[in-house]
Amino acid sequence: MRRLRAPGGEALTAFTISAARLVLGALFLGASATKVPDMAAFAESVANYRIVPPALVPAAAAAVVGIEITASLAILANVWTRAAAWVLAALLAVFTAGLSSALARGIDLACGCFGGSSPATWSTVLRDLVLLALAVLVALSARARTASPSPRPDAASPS
Amino acid sequence: MALLAALGSAVGVAANAVSPHPAVLGRAVLSAAEAGGGSCSMPASEATSSAPWRATRISVDEAKGLCTACLAGFVDARGPHEFAHGHIANAIHLPPVGHPDEGAAVAQLRAFPLVVVYDGEYSCAVADDVAARLKHAGLTDVRVLQGAWPAWVAAQGPAAAGMCGVCGLPEAKP
């Protein structure tokens, strides 16, 4: 049985994935940009989660910011998109787990998400879950495109 | 993916190196609870931040000295239950929703050269709101207690609520 596709369906899907890619990239690039001016404060935010050993907190904070910068630039430029999307998904999974763990333990802490002092709440967790879903969507679509490349028009007609 | 993460980590170290306020790699950073100082600290980027107005912070140690010397008025910006349960001695209760006799309270505070506002929240957002209100009412030196109420308790132990018992609120200045 043939599957019927709505006209423009593929274009809509491609648009959705591109939009998700750009939203993720812009958000993470913006988030990292707010952290760089005060890395010490971000390290304190990381410490307040009480997940990373204190001695490793500054290195972990620097790594998070650097990975955010690199992955967001890659995903915006559509270079290494699949890897960048999985890296962002992994970051978001860690953020979500850390936030949930802290909130479940009753730790009153600032999110640290955008370099400010806004308190972490369950709505922050929900936001991260939505972003995680977007990152997985981008990663899976990039893999699908890699796994089944469209035939090159000149492949069948050697000159 | 691992390559991207490794590259990102290197970028992070570089970004930290050029940051005006870098995290010192290799130096342990304790959580606010473990450090005992509470949180609610002012980020170093505050001066350039476009975030809502935030009052200048004052450390617990400095505030304690001013309280003992009766040189500062204290304002509790928490809810009525928290205030009833314990507060800095002689603090005036000015919740965010307002005070029944706000004018009289501000007049009492005007007698002090400096006013310290505190709340019980990590972000000090409530204290900042009340501090902004007091600044708007004409008080010139209004600061927010770094670490909020938990830091005050942690610094003073069980006797914290009895601090500054000799400080009476001075007569209100017209």
B143, B56 in Cβ contact below 8 A?
Answer: yes
Structure tokens at B146: 């770094």
Contacts of A46 (CB under 8 A, 6+ apart): A52, A57, A60, A61, A64, A112, B29
Closest CA to A43 of A60, A28, A23: A60
From chain B, the residues in CB contact with A37 under 8 A are: 19-21, 44-45, 48
Shortest CA gap A110–chain B (Å): 7
Report the residue from B8, B23, B40 with minimal CB separation from A69.
B8
pLDDT of residue A9: 65
Shortest CA gap B34–chain A (Å): 9
Round to whole Å and give the CA distance between A135 and A149.
21
Report the residue from B4, B28, B29 with minimal CB separation from A71.
B4
Round to whole Å and give the CA distance between B91 and B111.
14
Per-residue pLDDT of chain B (174 residues; tens, 9 = 90+): 788 888 888 888 899 888 877 887 877 676 665 544 444 444 434 444 444 567 888 888 888 888 877 888 999 888 777 777 778 878 888 877 777 778 888 888 998 889 999 988 766 888 988 998 999 888 988 999 988 888 787 776 333 443 333 333 444 444
Per-residue model confidence as pLDDT tens digits over A24-69:
999 999 999 988 988 877 887 888 777 888 888 889 999 999 999 9
Residue reference for tokens 């004409």 = B138
Whole-structure pTM value: 0.53
B2-18 and A57-77 are packed helices; what angle lies between their axes, rounded to 10 degrees? 110
Q: Is ipTM beyond 0.90?
A: no
CB contact under 8 A, B7 and A116: no
Burial class of residue B165 (count of CB atoms within 10 Å of its CB; 0-12, 13-18, 19+): exposed
Count of positions (residues) in chain B: 174
Shortest CA gap B21–chain A (Å): 5
